[in-house]
Amino acid sequence: MALDHAILVSLLEKPGSGYELARRFDRSIGYFWTATHQQIYRVLARMEGDGLLAVREVPQQGRPDKKEYSVAGPGRSALAGWLHEPIEPESLRHDLAVKIRGVAFDDPAALVQEVERHHRAHSDRLARYLAGELRDFTGPDAPAPLDAGQELQHVVLRGGIAYERMTIAWLDDVLATLHRLGGTAPTATA
């Protein structure tokens, strides 16, 4: 049910339409949560039906009307309640690790390109995160004293950055291991 709460947080930070939420989930919220527009529209409809959200039809010129959602009183209470409930520490689901162990029954060299591809993808993400950090929190154009909300956004972003750095270092380790096992020289990455 955490998508519900992610939506509540995002709408509290700024009201918006399902479409806008979907794009936020591709950007800042995407550091730690992903969702497709389908999921989002479905959940918005349900939460509005339950009275957690308020809708406002906003006519626009040059583009279709949109439904702007904002958090209603009961939605705020629901979020507050959830914040005080304990949640389980999450556990990983890492496909690539399955592949790595599977390659014991196949050719280790075959996985090198795949690992390099992931290495590039994570390096790209890291670059995007670092650019965002500079823009919003640590650069010259960032607000001088950050408010509480911005401090919290920053610490979450630092988590994303730490995750990408850790993953990149591990993928280097994986490449070195595959190299040792397969005798294949790893090509340069990033």
Partner DNA sequence: TCTTTCTATGCAACTCGTTGCATAGACAAG
Partner DNA sequence: CTTGTCTATGCAACGAGTTGCATAGAAAGA
99 binds, among a second copy, DNA, none (CB under 5 to 8 A by kind): a second copy
- Picking from 152, 154, 125, the residue whose alpha carbon sits closest to that of residue 139 is 154
The residue from 26, 32, 34, 152 that contacts DNA (CB under 7 A) is 34
Phi then psi for residue 113, to 5 deg, are -65, -40
In whole angstroms, the minimum distance from the beta carbon of 99 to a second copy comes to 6
Instruction: Say if residues 124 and 164 touch (Cβ distance below 8 Å).
Output: no
Query: Out of 58, 131, 162, 190, which residue is the one contacting a second copy (CB under 8 A)?
Result: 162
Among 26, 19, 9, 35, residue whose Cα is nearest residue 67: 19
* Partner whose footprint covers residue 98, from a second copy, DNA, none (CB < 5 to 8 Å by kind): a second copy
Q: Give the residue with the Cβ less far from a second copy, 63 or 101.
A: 101
By beta-carbon proximity to DNA, the closer residue of 63 and 84 is: 63
Strand ranges for 113-186 from DSSP E: none
Answer yes or no whether residue 3 interacts with DNA by CB under 7 A: yes
Both structure tokens of 105: 């029954």
The torsion angles phi and psi of 54, rounded to 5 degrees, stand at -110, 145
What is the C-alpha separation between 27 and 44, in angstroms, rounded?
Answer: 19
Summarize as ranges the residues that interact with a second copy (CB under 8 A): 2, 5-6, 8-9, 12-13, 30-34, 76, 79-80, 82-84, 86-106, 108, 110-111, 114, 117-118, 121-122, 148-149, 151-156, 158-160, 162-163, 165-166, 169-170, 173-174, 177, 180-181
